[in-house]
Amino acid sequence: MNVVDRSTQQPVHTLNEILSQPQCWSDCLRQLASSDALTSAATLAKPGAEWIFIGCGSSYYLAMCAAATFNHLGLPARAIPASEVLLYPELSIPAGRQYVPVMISRSGQTSEVLQAARMLEQNMNVRTIAITCTPASPLESLSSVTLKLLLADEKSTVMTRSFTSMLLGLQYLGSRVTGHDRFGRALLDLHGQVRPLLEGTPARLQEFVQARKLADYVFLAQGPLFGIANEAMLKVMESSCSYAQVFHTMEFRHGPKSIAAPETLIAFFLSESSCESEVEVLEEMKKLGATTLVIGNTVDARARNAADFVIEMGLQLPEYARLAAYAVWGQLYGVYTGLNKGLNPDSPKNLTRVVVLNGQY
């Protein structure tokens, strides 16, 4: 494991890639919007078919966000880990239904995703859509259509801008399939509203991390933000070699709240539709002594009074068009936690950029 001298060094790639996201989103969506691949992917949509988003690790959590968005737009959708497709196809993709599978892999080389694409295309004769950040990948050769967001690729081991850019790309695909042009325009506008937030908030967040000694990390969310909470949990684990957990906000009351204490960070991703219920849990956890972090688009006085740190984004966009913006703060929290432990998030322990099983794609 590489150690960082925090007085002289910063993780070169990871932080730069996180902070580059607004421009990356703009560039990627502009290219995608005019691509032939987007048009081809939209033509694979079948009336009444279920969209299934398939990935591993961060790509699976991305799939959860994409599925939530497609359901919101009126397209039935689910997220499935690639391993479930391979090991339990009768449960994940039962026969007798129409599907539009979407294979998600930053590298286009993830073994389980490739195996699932091969099974669907060759064994089940089901046409698949792939989304990657790499040209001429093995996944592209297996899939019927590939959406390539080449500008979103990273040098980092952990996924940051590739996660948010591929999420936005899939959301934009959903807007194209359903004809929700207003939602598509909101996605195109996201970068301009998030950019100012990255001028001062990261430094404040780093100061918050540095000022506390924490042992446990918990991320809570409901509905469309649950996939984002999962990704924040993973970013803290990957970037700081810390143990983190994720729960639906309301479920945290049912047993897990036993760990609430000053050395436990409980981070709340506040939604709009269930905010009042989530704030009740926030207030309860603060009374139990937990350290609390709140990330929301608008944060009222009750939530502020129960929070040790607040990130209020104030984006003038629909809730589902803001999902990528929420992900940024979990990414930064993971990096700053790693730095605070003297680690280098550019070189996380035990991890590689791509999981290739048995040396084969």
pLDDT digits (tens, 9 = 90+) for 185-217: 999 999 999 999 999 999 999 999 999 999 999
Do 307 and 225 reside in the same domain of the chain?
A: yes
Do 279 and 188 reside in the same domain of the chain?
A: no
Residue 306: closest CA among 294, 323, 324, 321: 294
**Any domain includes 2:** no
Do 261 and 146 reside in the same domain of the chain?
A: no
**Any domain includes 321:** yes
Do 161 and 212 reside in the same domain of the chain?
A: no
Name the helix (H) or strand (E) containing 275. helix 275-287
pLDDT of residue 347: 79
pLDDT of residue 2: 41
**Any domain includes 357:** no
Which has the higher per-residue pLDDT, 51 or 354?
Answer: 51
pLDDT of residue 156: 85
In DSSP terms, 147 is beta-bridged to: 131
Quote the number of domains for the chain: 2
Its sign, for the CA torsion 127, 128, 134, 138, is negative
Given a cut of 50, is residue 8 above it in pLDDT? no
Distance between CA atoms of 88 and 141, rounded to whole angstroms? 24
Report CA dihedral (67, 73, 74, 75) to the nearest 10 degrees: -40
Name the pTM for this structure: 0.93
Name the helix (H) or strand (E) containing 18. helix 12-19
Do 165 and 81 reside in the same domain of the chain?
A: yes
Do 241 and 314 reside in the same domain of the chain?
A: yes
Do 109 and 156 reside in the same domain of the chain?
A: yes
Q: How far is C-alpha 244 from the geometric centre of its chain's CA atoms?
A: 16
Do 55 and 169 reside in the same domain of the chain?
A: yes
CATH code, domain with 134: 3.40.50.10490
Given a cut of 70, is residue 351 above it in pLDDT? no
